[in-house]
Amino acid sequence: MLELDEAAGDPLLLLARSIHPRSAHELLEAPVRALAAAAKVSLGQAQSTLELLDEQGFLDRRSRRLMRREILTERWADAFATGLGPKTLVQQFHGDPGHLSLAGHGVVYVSGEQAAPWIKNPETATLYVEVLSPEMIFGNRWRTDETPNIMVHTTFWVPRALKIHHPRPSRLLPRRS
């Protein structure tokens, strides 16, 4: 029996690559191929992950619903910090995290100190982007010659607004005799 803690094949990393466990229901209802595409892994790895989550009591295979969500969310957060987080890091810069010009650079998700409005004068910024544009780097005057305080990661989840389409036949074909 495989353990969830195994860093090399942790199924939580696959789940983390797609979306947070609290909103995983849409992807779990989709075909395994859609889950694999969203997580950017092979079909086999996606299938193995579902089997491991089932084995560990986190997934009801019949209903394809997550169970023990609180524990799963805690393990997801641990897996993200030690495994997925560093893998999504695109580049680190030094700049002014208190004055970020992000408009016009596509969808940018802000995390960390910058995302907490009660933190005055943030010292760091963590950003998630689909594509890091040179215009964003130059426009914000980010540099790489000093201690980094701005971390730019690639997004690893499927946005909630994105609908996952399940291809289904429009009608059943009659059986040939």
- Judge whether residue 95 has pLDDT over 90: yes
pTM for the predicted model, two decimal places: 0.56
Task: Report H helices in 61-107.
Answer: 69-79, 85-88
Question: By mean pLDDT, which of 54-58, 68-72, 150-154, 173-177 is the weakest?
Answer: 173-177
For 13, 22, 45, 49, 176, the CA distances from 16, given in Å and listed in that order, are 5, 11, 13, 11, 45
The closest alpha carbon to 144, from 100, 90, 92, 102, belongs to 92
pLDDT in tens, 112-133: 888 788 888 889 999 989 889 9
- Specify the pLDDT at position 5: 37
State the burial class of residue 24 (Cβ atoms within 10 Å of its Cβ: 0-12, 13-18, 19+).
Answer: buried
| Rounded percentage of the chain residues whose pLDDT exceeds 70 | 67
| In the chain, domain spans | 11-84, 94-154
Q: What is the mean pLDDT of residues 167-172?
A: 44
